[in-house]
Amino acid sequence: MALESLGKALNAALKKLARAGSVDEVLIKEVVRDIQRALIMSDVNVKLVLDLTKKIQKRALEEKPPAGVSRREHIIKIVYEELTNFLGKEAKPIEIKEKPTILLTVGIQGSGKTTTVAKLARYFQKRGYKVGLVCSDTWRPGAYHQLKQLVEPYSIEVFGDPNEKDAVRLAKEGVEYFKHKGVDIIIVDSAGRHKEEKSLIEEMKQISDAINPHEVILVIDGTIGQQAYSQALAFKEATPIGSIIVTKLDGSAKGGGALSAVVATGAPIKFIGVGERIDDLEPFDPKRFVSRLLGLGDIQGLLEKFEELSKAQELKEEDLEKFMRGKFNLKDMYAQLEAMSKMGPLKQILQMIPGLGYSLPDDVVRVSEQRLRKFKVIMDSMTEEELEHPEIINYSRIKRIARGSGTTVKDVKELLEQYNQMKKFFKSMNKRSLNRMMKRLGMGGFGI
Protein backbone atom coordinates (compact mmCIF):
# COMPACT_ATOMS: atom_id res chain seq x y z
CA MET A 1 0.00 0.00 0.00
CA ALA A 2 1.57 3.27 -1.14
CA LEU A 3 1.39 6.30 1.16
CA GLU A 4 -1.45 7.76 -0.93
CA SER A 5 -3.38 4.51 -0.43
CA LEU A 6 -2.59 4.62 3.29
CA GLY A 7 -3.91 8.18 3.41
CA LYS A 8 -7.12 7.18 1.62
CA ALA A 9 -7.64 4.24 4.01
CA LEU A 10 -7.12 6.40 7.10
CA ASN A 11 -9.32 9.12 5.64
CA ALA A 12 -12.07 6.54 4.97
CA ALA A 13 -11.87 5.39 8.59
CA LEU A 14 -12.36 8.94 9.85
CA LYS A 15 -15.24 9.49 7.44
CA LYS A 16 -17.10 6.68 9.20
CA LEU A 17 -17.15 8.92 12.25
CA ALA A 18 -18.46 11.88 10.26
CA ARG A 19 -21.26 9.88 8.63
CA ALA A 20 -22.44 7.94 11.67
CA GLY A 21 -25.66 8.98 13.39
CA SER A 22 -24.05 8.55 16.82
CA VAL A 23 -20.56 7.76 18.10
CA ASP A 24 -20.61 4.74 20.40
CA GLU A 25 -18.13 2.09 21.57
CA VAL A 26 -18.94 -0.22 18.65
CA LEU A 27 -18.16 2.51 16.09
CA ILE A 28 -14.94 3.55 17.86
CA LYS A 29 -13.67 -0.04 17.88
CA GLU A 30 -14.58 -0.42 14.20
CA VAL A 31 -12.69 2.77 13.27
CA VAL A 32 -9.67 1.62 15.30
CA ARG A 33 -9.71 -1.73 13.47
CA ASP A 34 -9.75 0.13 10.14
CA ILE A 35 -6.73 2.18 11.24
CA GLN A 36 -4.94 -1.01 12.33
CA ARG A 37 -5.61 -2.65 8.97
CA ALA A 38 -4.42 0.41 7.02
CA LEU A 39 -1.13 0.67 8.93
CA ILE A 40 -0.36 -3.06 8.76
CA MET A 41 -1.05 -3.02 5.00
CA SER A 42 1.51 -0.21 4.76
CA ASP A 43 4.12 -2.55 6.32
CA VAL A 44 4.22 -0.88 9.74
CA ASN A 45 5.43 -3.27 12.45
CA VAL A 46 2.46 -5.15 13.92
CA LYS A 47 3.51 -4.60 17.56
CA LEU A 48 3.91 -0.87 16.95
CA VAL A 49 0.49 -0.76 15.28
CA LEU A 50 -1.18 -2.57 18.20
CA ASP A 51 0.49 -0.26 20.75
CA LEU A 52 -0.57 2.81 18.79
CA THR A 53 -4.18 1.77 18.22
CA LYS A 54 -4.54 0.65 21.84
CA LYS A 55 -3.67 4.23 22.89
CA ILE A 56 -6.12 5.67 20.36
CA GLN A 57 -8.94 3.38 21.50
CA LYS A 58 -8.30 3.98 25.23
CA ARG A 59 -8.32 7.78 24.80
CA ALA A 60 -11.35 7.73 22.45
CA LEU A 61 -13.41 5.67 24.93
CA GLU A 62 -12.31 7.41 28.14
CA GLU A 63 -11.66 11.08 27.37
CA LYS A 64 -14.46 13.63 27.47
CA PRO A 65 -14.35 16.27 24.71
CA PRO A 66 -13.65 19.87 25.84
CA ALA A 67 -16.56 22.30 25.87
CA GLY A 68 -17.68 23.26 22.38
CA VAL A 69 -15.98 20.26 20.71
CA SER A 70 -18.04 17.33 19.44
CA ARG A 71 -17.05 13.75 20.24
CA ARG A 72 -16.34 13.13 16.55
CA GLU A 73 -13.96 16.10 16.34
CA HIS A 74 -12.25 15.04 19.55
CA ILE A 75 -11.63 11.50 18.27
CA ILE A 76 -10.16 12.84 15.01
CA LYS A 77 -7.87 15.04 17.14
CA ILE A 78 -6.82 11.98 19.17
CA VAL A 79 -5.96 10.03 15.99
CA TYR A 80 -3.99 13.01 14.69
CA GLU A 81 -2.09 13.47 17.97
CA GLU A 82 -1.22 9.79 18.42
CA LEU A 83 -0.07 9.35 14.81
CA THR A 84 2.03 12.51 15.13
CA ASN A 85 3.64 11.23 18.36
CA PHE A 86 4.19 7.89 16.64
CA LEU A 87 6.17 9.57 13.84
CA GLY A 88 8.37 11.75 16.00
CA LYS A 89 6.34 14.73 17.31
CA GLU A 90 8.51 17.64 16.13
CA ALA A 91 10.26 18.66 12.90
CA LYS A 92 14.06 18.67 13.16
CA PRO A 93 15.59 20.85 10.43
CA ILE A 94 19.19 20.80 9.21
CA GLU A 95 20.76 23.89 10.73
CA ILE A 96 22.99 26.13 8.63
CA LYS A 97 24.94 27.96 11.32
CA GLU A 98 28.26 28.82 9.72
CA LYS A 99 29.80 29.38 6.32
CA PRO A 100 30.50 26.98 4.81
CA THR A 101 28.34 24.30 6.41
CA ILE A 102 29.62 20.87 5.33
CA LEU A 103 27.15 17.98 4.88
CA LEU A 104 28.26 14.40 4.17
CA THR A 105 25.78 11.92 2.64
CA VAL A 106 26.07 8.13 2.89
CA GLY A 107 23.78 5.28 1.87
CA ILE A 108 23.36 1.75 0.57
CA GLN A 109 23.72 1.48 -3.23
CA GLY A 110 20.40 1.97 -4.98
CA SER A 111 18.90 4.08 -2.19
CA GLY A 112 18.61 7.12 -4.47
CA LYS A 113 21.47 8.91 -2.74
CA THR A 114 22.92 10.78 -5.73
CA THR A 115 19.48 12.02 -6.82
CA THR A 116 18.78 13.04 -3.23
CA VAL A 117 22.04 15.01 -3.07
CA ALA A 118 20.89 16.95 -6.16
CA LYS A 119 17.45 17.53 -4.58
CA LEU A 120 19.03 18.73 -1.33
CA ALA A 121 21.27 21.15 -3.23
CA ARG A 122 18.25 22.52 -5.08
CA TYR A 123 16.27 22.80 -1.84
CA PHE A 124 18.94 25.00 -0.26
CA GLN A 125 19.53 26.98 -3.46
CA LYS A 126 15.82 27.94 -3.57
CA ARG A 127 16.26 29.35 -0.07
CA GLY A 128 19.05 31.67 -1.14
CA TYR A 129 22.13 29.59 -0.30
CA LYS A 130 25.07 29.13 -2.67
CA VAL A 131 25.73 25.37 -2.83
CA GLY A 132 28.72 23.34 -4.03
CA LEU A 133 28.60 19.55 -4.58
CA VAL A 134 31.52 17.14 -4.18
CA CYS A 135 31.26 13.72 -5.85
CA SER A 136 33.58 11.35 -3.97
CA ASP A 137 31.83 8.23 -5.29
CA THR A 138 34.71 6.26 -6.84
CA TRP A 139 32.81 2.97 -6.99
CA ARG A 140 29.91 3.56 -9.34
CA PRO A 141 30.73 4.40 -12.99
CA GLY A 142 28.90 7.51 -14.09
CA ALA A 143 28.14 8.84 -10.59
CA TYR A 144 29.93 12.15 -11.27
CA HIS A 145 28.24 12.63 -14.65
CA GLN A 146 24.81 11.75 -13.20
CA LEU A 147 25.15 14.32 -10.43
CA LYS A 148 26.45 16.96 -12.84
CA GLN A 149 23.57 16.33 -15.25
CA LEU A 150 20.95 16.59 -12.49
CA VAL A 151 22.06 20.03 -11.25
CA GLU A 152 23.35 21.58 -14.48
CA PRO A 153 20.00 23.28 -15.29
CA TYR A 154 20.25 25.11 -11.93
CA SER A 155 23.89 26.25 -12.32
CA ILE A 156 25.04 24.29 -9.25
CA GLU A 157 28.72 23.39 -9.52
CA VAL A 158 30.00 19.83 -9.01
CA PHE A 159 33.59 18.99 -8.07
CA GLY A 160 34.84 15.52 -8.99
CA ASP A 161 37.25 13.39 -11.02
CA PRO A 162 35.94 10.13 -12.54
CA ASN A 163 39.53 8.85 -12.85
CA GLU A 164 40.44 9.32 -9.17
CA LYS A 165 40.12 6.17 -7.05
CA ASP A 166 40.79 7.66 -3.60
CA ALA A 167 37.40 8.74 -2.19
CA VAL A 168 38.89 10.40 0.91
CA ARG A 169 41.29 12.46 -1.19
CA LEU A 170 38.48 13.56 -3.52
CA ALA A 171 36.33 14.61 -0.58
CA LYS A 172 39.16 16.66 0.97
CA GLU A 173 40.10 18.37 -2.28
CA GLY A 174 36.47 19.12 -3.09
CA VAL A 175 35.79 20.70 0.29
CA GLU A 176 38.94 22.87 0.01
CA TYR A 177 37.96 23.90 -3.53
CA PHE A 178 34.54 25.14 -2.46
CA LYS A 179 35.89 26.83 0.67
CA HIS A 180 37.97 29.03 -1.62
CA LYS A 181 34.91 29.66 -3.82
CA GLY A 182 33.04 31.07 -0.82
CA VAL A 183 29.93 28.88 -1.00
CA ASP A 184 27.46 28.67 1.90
CA ILE A 185 26.90 24.90 1.88
CA ILE A 186 29.14 22.04 0.70
CA ILE A 187 27.43 18.66 0.18
CA VAL A 188 29.72 15.65 -0.21
CA ASP A 189 28.25 12.62 -2.01
CA SER A 190 30.04 9.42 -0.93
CA ALA A 191 29.95 5.97 -2.57
CA GLY A 192 26.99 3.69 -1.96
CA ARG A 193 27.55 0.29 -0.40
CA HIS A 194 26.11 -3.15 -1.24
CA LYS A 195 23.71 -3.81 1.66
CA GLU A 196 26.58 -3.82 4.11
CA GLU A 197 26.24 -1.37 6.98
CA LYS A 198 29.76 -2.02 8.33
CA SER A 199 31.66 -0.91 5.24
CA LEU A 200 29.30 2.05 4.80
CA ILE A 201 29.93 3.18 8.36
CA GLU A 202 33.68 2.64 7.95
CA GLU A 203 33.93 4.85 4.86
CA MET A 204 31.72 7.43 6.54
CA LYS A 205 34.18 7.59 9.45
CA GLN A 206 37.20 7.90 7.15
CA ILE A 207 35.72 10.71 5.07
CA SER A 208 34.27 12.33 8.18
CA ASP A 209 37.71 12.43 9.83
CA ALA A 210 39.13 14.03 6.68
CA ILE A 211 36.52 16.76 6.09
CA ASN A 212 35.00 17.27 9.58
CA PRO A 213 31.35 17.70 8.46
CA HIS A 214 28.78 19.61 10.49
CA GLU A 215 26.25 16.88 9.80
CA VAL A 216 26.26 13.36 8.35
CA ILE A 217 23.12 12.34 6.45
CA LEU A 218 22.06 8.74 5.85
CA VAL A 219 19.84 8.21 2.79
CA ILE A 220 17.45 5.27 3.23
CA ASP A 221 15.31 3.72 0.49
CA GLY A 222 11.65 3.90 1.61
CA THR A 223 10.78 0.77 -0.39
CA ILE A 224 12.69 -1.49 2.05
CA GLY A 225 10.03 -1.02 4.73
CA GLN A 226 10.83 -2.37 8.20
CA GLN A 227 14.38 -3.30 7.11
CA ALA A 228 15.18 0.41 7.47
CA TYR A 229 15.43 -0.21 11.22
CA SER A 230 18.84 -1.93 11.13
CA GLN A 231 20.37 0.68 8.81
CA ALA A 232 19.09 3.59 10.89
CA LEU A 233 20.15 1.99 14.17
CA ALA A 234 23.71 1.20 12.99
CA PHE A 235 24.02 4.75 11.69
CA LYS A 236 22.66 6.35 14.86
CA GLU A 237 25.12 4.38 17.00
CA ALA A 238 28.05 5.36 14.78
CA THR A 239 27.54 9.13 14.57
CA PRO A 240 26.29 11.67 17.13
CA ILE A 241 25.53 14.25 14.41
CA GLY A 242 23.44 12.13 12.08
CA SER A 243 20.20 12.80 10.30
CA ILE A 244 18.17 10.73 7.86
CA ILE A 245 16.44 11.24 4.52
CA VAL A 246 13.88 8.59 3.51
CA THR A 247 13.48 8.40 -0.28
CA LYS A 248 10.95 6.97 -2.77
CA LEU A 249 7.88 7.54 -0.59
CA ASP A 250 5.69 8.62 -3.52
CA GLY A 251 4.90 5.12 -4.77
CA SER A 252 6.31 2.82 -2.11
CA ALA A 253 4.13 0.05 -0.74
CA LYS A 254 6.33 0.03 2.35
CA GLY A 255 6.67 3.75 3.03
CA GLY A 256 4.83 3.63 6.34
CA GLY A 257 7.03 0.74 7.45
CA ALA A 258 10.24 2.59 6.59
CA LEU A 259 9.19 5.80 8.35
CA SER A 260 8.00 4.05 11.50
CA ALA A 261 11.08 1.78 11.58
CA VAL A 262 13.45 4.76 11.44
CA VAL A 263 11.48 6.65 14.09
CA ALA A 264 11.66 3.58 16.35
CA THR A 265 15.48 3.92 16.43
CA GLY A 266 15.29 7.51 17.65
CA ALA A 267 17.26 8.73 14.62
CA PRO A 268 15.92 12.07 13.31
CA ILE A 269 14.26 12.07 9.85
CA LYS A 270 14.87 15.50 8.36
CA PHE A 271 13.66 15.12 4.78
CA ILE A 272 11.50 12.76 2.73
CA GLY A 273 11.59 12.16 -1.03
CA VAL A 274 8.05 12.37 -2.44
CA GLY A 275 8.58 12.17 -6.21
CA GLU A 276 11.01 11.97 -9.10
CA ARG A 277 11.33 15.69 -9.82
CA ILE A 278 14.33 17.53 -8.40
CA ASP A 279 11.96 19.71 -6.35
CA ASP A 280 10.26 16.66 -4.78
CA LEU A 281 12.10 16.77 -1.45
CA GLU A 282 10.25 17.94 1.66
CA PRO A 283 11.37 18.70 5.21
CA PHE A 284 9.85 16.00 7.41
CA ASP A 285 7.42 17.55 9.84
CA PRO A 286 5.34 14.83 11.58
CA LYS A 287 2.46 17.22 12.29
CA ARG A 288 2.13 18.39 8.70
CA PHE A 289 2.77 14.90 7.30
CA VAL A 290 0.03 13.31 9.43
CA SER A 291 -2.36 16.18 8.72
CA ARG A 292 -2.03 15.56 4.97
CA LEU A 293 -2.21 11.80 5.43
CA LEU A 294 -5.54 12.11 7.24
CA GLY A 295 -6.96 14.49 4.63
CA LEU A 296 -6.82 17.43 7.06
CA GLY A 297 -4.61 19.47 4.71
CA ASP A 298 -1.31 21.32 5.07
CA ILE A 299 -2.01 25.01 4.67
CA GLN A 300 1.49 26.00 5.84
CA GLY A 301 3.12 23.79 3.22
CA LEU A 302 0.79 25.18 0.56
CA LEU A 303 1.62 28.76 1.56
CA GLU A 304 5.35 28.02 1.30
CA LYS A 305 4.92 26.64 -2.22
CA PHE A 306 2.79 29.65 -3.24
CA GLU A 307 5.46 31.95 -1.80
CA GLU A 308 8.16 30.27 -3.92
CA LEU A 309 6.09 30.74 -7.08
CA SER A 310 5.18 34.31 -6.15
CA LYS A 311 8.86 35.17 -5.76
CA ALA A 312 9.46 33.76 -9.23
CA GLN A 313 6.42 35.82 -10.41
CA GLU A 314 4.75 32.67 -11.75
CA LEU A 315 1.60 32.77 -9.64
CA LYS A 316 -0.54 35.85 -9.03
CA GLU A 317 -2.94 35.98 -6.10
CA GLU A 318 -5.87 37.40 -8.10
CA ASP A 319 -5.51 34.68 -10.76
CA LEU A 320 -5.44 31.94 -8.14
CA GLU A 321 -8.51 33.39 -6.42
CA LYS A 322 -10.44 33.40 -9.72
CA PHE A 323 -9.42 29.76 -10.28
CA MET A 324 -10.49 28.66 -6.78
CA ARG A 325 -13.90 30.33 -7.24
CA GLY A 326 -14.50 28.34 -10.43
CA LYS A 327 -14.61 31.56 -12.49
CA PHE A 328 -11.91 30.79 -15.02
CA ASN A 329 -11.66 30.24 -18.76
CA LEU A 330 -9.37 27.97 -20.78
CA LYS A 331 -6.55 30.50 -20.79
CA ASP A 332 -6.74 30.81 -16.98
CA MET A 333 -6.88 27.04 -16.55
CA TYR A 334 -3.72 26.46 -18.48
CA ALA A 335 -1.82 29.25 -16.71
CA GLN A 336 -2.76 27.94 -13.26
CA LEU A 337 -2.13 24.27 -14.03
CA GLU A 338 1.26 25.16 -15.48
CA ALA A 339 2.14 27.18 -12.38
CA MET A 340 0.89 24.43 -10.05
CA SER A 341 2.85 21.77 -11.97
CA LYS A 342 6.03 23.63 -10.97
CA MET A 343 5.01 23.17 -7.33
CA GLY A 344 4.76 19.40 -7.75
CA PRO A 345 2.16 16.88 -8.90
CA LEU A 346 -1.30 18.48 -8.82
CA LYS A 347 -2.69 15.73 -6.57
CA GLN A 348 0.00 16.43 -3.93
CA ILE A 349 -0.79 20.15 -4.02
CA LEU A 350 -4.54 19.63 -3.69
CA GLN A 351 -3.99 17.23 -0.77
CA MET A 352 -2.61 20.24 1.13
CA ILE A 353 -6.07 21.82 1.02
CA PRO A 354 -8.12 20.64 4.04
CA GLY A 355 -10.73 18.04 3.12
CA LEU A 356 -9.98 18.23 -0.59
CA GLY A 357 -7.19 15.83 -1.58
CA TYR A 358 -8.91 12.47 -1.19
CA SER A 359 -12.33 13.73 -2.29
CA LEU A 360 -11.14 14.74 -5.75
CA PRO A 361 -12.02 12.43 -8.64
CA ASP A 362 -8.84 11.07 -10.23
CA ASP A 363 -9.99 12.43 -13.60
CA VAL A 364 -9.74 15.96 -12.26
CA VAL A 365 -6.11 15.72 -11.21
CA ARG A 366 -4.65 13.27 -13.71
CA VAL A 367 -3.04 16.08 -15.71
CA SER A 368 0.44 14.94 -16.61
CA GLU A 369 3.10 17.21 -18.08
CA GLN A 370 2.63 15.38 -21.39
CA ARG A 371 -1.09 16.14 -21.43
CA LEU A 372 -0.39 19.75 -20.47
CA ARG A 373 1.91 20.08 -23.47
CA LYS A 374 -0.79 18.62 -25.73
CA PHE A 375 -3.39 20.95 -24.22
CA LYS A 376 -1.11 23.94 -24.92
CA VAL A 377 -0.75 22.93 -28.58
CA ILE A 378 -4.54 22.60 -28.86
CA MET A 379 -5.12 25.98 -27.23
CA ASP A 380 -2.57 27.59 -29.56
CA SER A 381 -4.96 26.67 -32.38
CA MET A 382 -7.93 28.38 -30.73
CA THR A 383 -9.01 31.95 -31.31
CA GLU A 384 -8.84 34.49 -28.48
CA GLU A 385 -12.64 34.42 -28.34
CA GLU A 386 -12.66 30.60 -27.93
CA LEU A 387 -10.08 30.73 -25.15
CA GLU A 388 -12.06 33.35 -23.24
CA HIS A 389 -15.50 31.83 -23.97
CA PRO A 390 -15.05 28.02 -24.29
CA GLU A 391 -18.85 27.58 -24.30
CA ILE A 392 -18.96 28.72 -27.97
CA ILE A 393 -16.81 25.78 -29.14
CA ASN A 394 -19.12 23.54 -31.16
CA TYR A 395 -18.34 20.43 -33.23
CA SER A 396 -17.24 22.32 -36.37
CA ARG A 397 -14.86 24.43 -34.26
CA ILE A 398 -13.54 21.28 -32.57
CA LYS A 399 -12.74 19.77 -36.00
CA ARG A 400 -10.96 22.97 -37.08
CA ILE A 401 -8.96 23.15 -33.82
CA ALA A 402 -7.94 19.47 -34.14
CA ARG A 403 -6.72 19.98 -37.74
CA GLY A 404 -4.82 23.14 -36.82
CA SER A 405 -3.10 21.55 -33.80
CA GLY A 406 -2.27 18.21 -35.46
CA THR A 407 -4.34 16.40 -32.81
CA THR A 408 -7.62 14.49 -32.92
CA VAL A 409 -11.21 15.47 -32.25
CA LYS A 410 -11.01 13.16 -29.23
CA ASP A 411 -8.00 15.13 -27.87
CA VAL A 412 -9.85 18.45 -28.17
CA LYS A 413 -12.92 16.99 -26.49
CA GLU A 414 -10.71 15.65 -23.70
CA LEU A 415 -9.35 19.15 -23.04
CA LEU A 416 -12.86 20.62 -22.95
CA GLU A 417 -14.06 17.81 -20.68
CA GLN A 418 -11.13 18.39 -18.30
CA TYR A 419 -11.95 22.10 -18.22
CA ASN A 420 -15.65 21.50 -17.52
CA GLN A 421 -14.91 18.94 -14.77
CA MET A 422 -12.54 21.30 -12.94
CA LYS A 423 -14.91 24.24 -13.29
CA LYS A 424 -17.85 22.17 -12.06
CA PHE A 425 -15.85 20.80 -9.12
CA PHE A 426 -14.64 24.15 -7.82
CA LYS A 427 -18.09 25.72 -8.28
CA SER A 428 -19.70 22.90 -6.30
CA MET A 429 -17.29 23.14 -3.38
CA ASN A 430 -18.86 24.08 -0.09
CA LYS A 431 -18.60 27.88 -0.09
CA ARG A 432 -18.04 28.17 3.62
CA SER A 433 -15.11 25.74 3.67
CA LEU A 434 -13.66 27.42 0.57
CA ASN A 435 -14.10 30.79 2.24
CA ARG A 436 -12.19 29.61 5.34
CA MET A 437 -9.44 28.16 3.18
CA MET A 438 -9.05 31.33 1.11
CA LYS A 439 -8.86 33.47 4.24
CA ARG A 440 -6.09 31.24 5.60
CA LEU A 441 -4.29 31.69 2.28
CA GLY A 442 -4.58 35.46 2.80
CA MET A 443 -6.97 35.79 -0.17
CA GLY A 444 -9.94 37.51 1.46
CA GLY A 445 -12.82 35.13 0.89
CA PHE A 446 -16.47 35.32 -0.14
CA GLY A 447 -17.51 37.59 2.71
CA ILE A 448 -19.88 35.02 4.25
307 belongs to a structural domain: yes
Q: Can you tell me the distance from the alpha carbon of 133 to that of 239, in angstroms, rounded to the nearest whole number?
A: 22
Q: 107 labelled as ligand-binding?
A: yes
Q: Can you tell me the distance from the alpha carbon of 172 to that of 302, in angstroms, rounded to the nearest whole number?
A: 39
The answer to whether the Cα torsion of 78, 83, 86, 89 is positive or negative is: negative
| pLDDT band, very low/low/confident/very high, at 343 (cuts 50, 70, 90) | low
Q: Which of 19-33, 276-290, 382-396 has the highest mean pLDDT?
A: 382-396
pTM of the model: 0.70
Query: Looking at residue 72, what is its pLDDT?
Result: 84
Question: Do 271 and 413 belong to one domain?
Answer: no
Q: Which of 57-61, 206-210, 342-346, 366-370 has the highest mean pLDDT?
A: 57-61
Question: Do 125 and 221 belong to one domain?
Answer: yes
Last residue of a domain, one of 248, 273, 290: 290
pLDDT average, residue stretch 129-148: 89
* CB 168, CB 206: distance < 8 Å: yes
* CB 399, CB 339: distance < 8 Å: no
Question: Do 34 and 108 belong to one domain?
Answer: no
| pLDDT band, very low/low/confident/very high, at 340 (cuts 50, 70, 90) | low
Question: Do 423 and 329 belong to one domain?
Answer: yes
Q: 433 labelled as ligand-binding?
A: no
Question: Do 407 and 340 belong to one domain?
Answer: yes
446 belongs to a structural domain: no
329 belongs to a structural domain: yes
Q: 192 labelled as ligand-binding?
A: yes
Q: 114 labelled as ligand-binding?
A: yes
pLDDT average, residue stretch 50-77: 88
Last residue of a domain, one of 245, 268, 290: 290
Q: Which comes out higher in pLDDT, residue 46 or 341?
A: 46
304 belongs to a structural domain: yes
Question: Do 210 and 232 belong to one domain?
Answer: yes
Q: 225 labelled as ligand-binding?
A: no
pLDDT average, residue stretch 399-415: 94
| Nearest CA among 347, 348, 337, 340 for reference residue 374 | 337
Report helix, strand or coil for 101. strand
Which DSSP category does 307 fall into?
A: H
Q: 191 labelled as ligand-binding?
A: yes
Question: Pairing mode, if any, of strands 269-273 and 281-283?
Answer: antiparallel
Question: Do 174 and 122 belong to one domain?
Answer: yes
| pLDDT band, very low/low/confident/very high, at 328 (cuts 50, 70, 90) | confident
Question: Do 105 and 248 belong to one domain?
Answer: yes
CATH number at residue 68: 1.20.120.140
Q: Where does 102-220 have alpha helices with state H?
A: 113-126, 143-151, 167-181, 197-211
Tell me: pLDDT of 313 over 60: no
Last residue of a domain, one of 235, 257, 290: 290
Q: 250 labelled as ligand-binding?
A: yes
Q: 247 labelled as ligand-binding?
A: yes
Q: 249 labelled as ligand-binding?
A: yes
Query: Looking at residue 232, what is its pLDDT?
Result: 87
Residue 213: HSE in the Cβ half-sphere, 13 Å Cα cutoff: 31
96 belongs to a structural domain: no
Question: Do 112 and 184 belong to one domain?
Answer: yes
* CB 128, CB 121: distance < 8 Å: no
Structural domain including 45 reads: 2-87
Domains in the chain, number: 3
Question: Do 117 and 28 belong to one domain?
Answer: no
92 belongs to a structural domain: no
CATH number at residue 116: 3.40.50.300
Question: Do 318 and 211 belong to one domain?
Answer: no
Q: Can you tell me the distance from the alpha carbon of 169 to that of 78, in angstroms, rounded to the nearest whole number?
A: 52
Query: Looking at residue 444, what is its pLDDT?
Result: 42
Chain-wide mean pLDDT for the chain? 81
312 belongs to a structural domain: yes
Q: 193 labelled as ligand-binding?
A: yes
Question: Do 23 and 171 belong to one domain?
Answer: no
